[in-house]
């Protein structure tokens, strides 16, 4: 298995911009023969956020960001591991997700 690592802070507080960044690197990694792309912790939201911003950017495991990642994984036939602020009811978590190249969420 060939693994690509996206070591970047991304753009704190800019979820859509970070998702676009993941797509750019997923495309590049797949072209280079990678089977999986792994990003940094909380990459979707950015890491250094205050509690209010963290809460605002949080979403459930089947939220819009994960759905977008599933589409990216399937489009480029590459597994993706990344982190995001997960909301489950009133609880919030610093979570990670593994999406396979067929867009299936395997772990979170």
Tens-place pLDDT, residues 68-98: 999 999 999 999 999 999 999 989 999 999 9
> What confidence category does residue 47 fall into, taking pLDDT thresholds of 50, 70 and 90?
confident
Q: Structural domain of residue 70, as residue ranges?
A: 3-107
Count structural domains, the chain.
Answer: 1
Whether the Cβ atoms of residue 96 and residue 41 lie closer than 8 Å to each other? yes
For 5, what's the count of Cα atoms within 13 Å in the CB-facing half-sphere?
A: 5
**What is the pLDDT at residue 42?**
95
Q: How are strands ordered across the β-sheet holding 105-107? A: 3-6, 36-39, 79-88, 91-99, 105-107
Whether the Cβ atoms of residue 83 and residue 94 lie closer than 8 Å to each other? yes
For 8, what's the count of Cα atoms within 13 Å in the CB-facing half-sphere?
A: 19
CATH number for 31: 3.60.110.10
């Amino acid at each position: 298995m060939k693994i690509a690592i996206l070591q970047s802070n991304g753009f704190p507080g800019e979820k859509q911009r970070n998702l676009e960044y993941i797509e750019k690197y997923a495309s590049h990694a797949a072209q280079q023969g990678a089977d999986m792309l792994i990003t940094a912790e909380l990459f979707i939201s950015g890491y250094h956020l205050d509690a209010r911003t963290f809460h605002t950017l949080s979403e459930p495991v089947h939220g819009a960001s994960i759905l977008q990642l599933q589409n990216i994984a399937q489009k480029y036939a590459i597994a993706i591991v990344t982190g995001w602020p997960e909301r489950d009811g009133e609880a919030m978590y610093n979570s990670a997700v593994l999406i396979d190249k067929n867009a299936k969420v395997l772990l979170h």
